[in-house]
Amino acid sequence: MDFNHLSNEELKQKEKQLKRALEELDEKEAVIIVEGKKDKEALQRIGVKNRIKLVNRSPAELSRAISDEKEAIILTDFDEAGEEICKRVEESLSSYSIKADTELRKRLHRIIGVANFESIDKILDKFDEEIKKR
């Protein structure tokens, strides 16, 4: 996402929203589910401390493996495959009475335009650069 077209007010608003979304990511005692190793590494580079699990098996096997969790945050990509994985994991988690949070994923997409989570660190760097320029 290109941030230089935003007004100062819009940029400040996005900064507040982003700060809150990232705080929620840390505050929630939830496991984070991502598609791949690069997604996990990018989240760790931006300081995410929660446990991060990969969807490297079937959604049912993943849900069974984390069945003692109360909540999981799903951060899959916004391509067709990521949307399908998100839906399947969400359904599987519900069968284990695990609350699936997909809202944070949507908010991060809306705020900074993240399309895949392996690039979230680079997008945040661009966002920070734009804030510093002003």
Domain that holds residue 51: 8-133
Residue type, 108: L
Looking at the structure of the chain, the number of domains it has is 1
CATH number at residue 129: 3.40.1360.10
Is residue 3 one of the residues assigned to a domain?
Answer: no
* Cβ–Cβ under 8 Å, residues 58 and 33: no
pTM score of the predicted model: 0.94
Residue 2: the pLDDT is 85
- Listed in sequence order, the residues at least 6 apart from 11 whose beta carbon sits closer than 8 Å to its beta carbon are 3, 130, 131, 134
pLDDT recorded at residue 1: 79
Task: Give the residue ranges of the chain where pLDDT is below 50.
Answer: none
Residue 72 has phi, psi (to 5 degrees) of -135, 140
Residue 2 lies in a domain: no
Residue pair 108/21 in contact (Cβ under 8 Å)? The answer is yes
Q: Give CA–CA dist 53/74, Å, rounded.
A: 10
Determine, yes or no, domain membership for 93.
yes
